[in-house]
Amino acid sequence: MSSLKATLGILAASLMLSGCIQGATYEATNTQNFKPRDKELLAKVSYVKTPVPEAFRRAIVDYHRKEAPGSIVVDSDNHYLYLVQANGKAIRYGITVGEEAMAWSGIAKVGSKTEWPPWHPTPGEISRLGVPKFVAPGPDNPMGSRALYLYSGGKDTLFRIHGTNQPEYIGASISSGCIRLTNEDVIDLYDRVGLNTVVVVLEPKHGDSPFNSQMALQGGGNNVQ
């Protein structure tokens, strides 16, 4: 049922925003910059590479908030992650976020980074999902191609920004609390940020209103990086 609700939610959001992105220019990811291992493993995935709805494709957009350039801002309400740039711009990525009861908000830092990480499910995930205690790195691992581990007060929050083997849910609230990007987008983000990057995960109802999200999508000269 939650999967159906998520799919319907993505479709509704895409239809709502589709009339507001005519001025944006979206491009496919340049895989020429990927490492040989990335190309090898991405070619072996068994999941369907569902195209991301246009409203959630990576783009450079106008950014009106006051976070410092170089920081990451997660707007769970609207399913966007922003990497803040200078001069009032940000790189915006579509994301999957946690269901309301599993969501996390606060200020953290990137405490560590891993390429093609293994998955160590939490006891709650093991009990709820019936998954093993360990899943080795690979093309169909739920952690995807990259992971940024979020720390707060010097301690691991157990929340991550990572890839996904379910690209069809970009734009939905269906994860166990972590922030998922497509494998291609998380490689792009991973290459742009370093350790100790500040990550601001906005509280529910504190993200941009649908009006402001639509206005950002209308911003002139929006181009994928």
By CB neighbour count within 10 A (0-12 exposed, 13-18 middle, 19+ buried), where does 165 fall?
A: middle
| Pairing mode, strands 89-94 and 72-75 | unpaired
Candidates 20, 79, 120, 162; catalytic one: 162
* Catalytic residue list contains 20: no
Task: Name the phi and psi angles at 155, rounded to 5.
Answer: -120, 145
Q: Count CB atoms within 10 A of the CB of residue 23.
A: 11
Q: Are 160 and 147 in contact (CB under 8 A)?
A: yes
Q: Are 90 and 54 in contact (CB under 8 A)?
A: no
* Catalytic residue list contains 178: yes
Candidates 20, 64, 178, 206; catalytic one: 178
List of E strands, the chain: 59-62, 72-75, 80-84, 89-94, 97-98, 106-115, 146-152, 155-162, 173-175, 179-180, 198-201
Residues annotated as catalytic are 162, 178
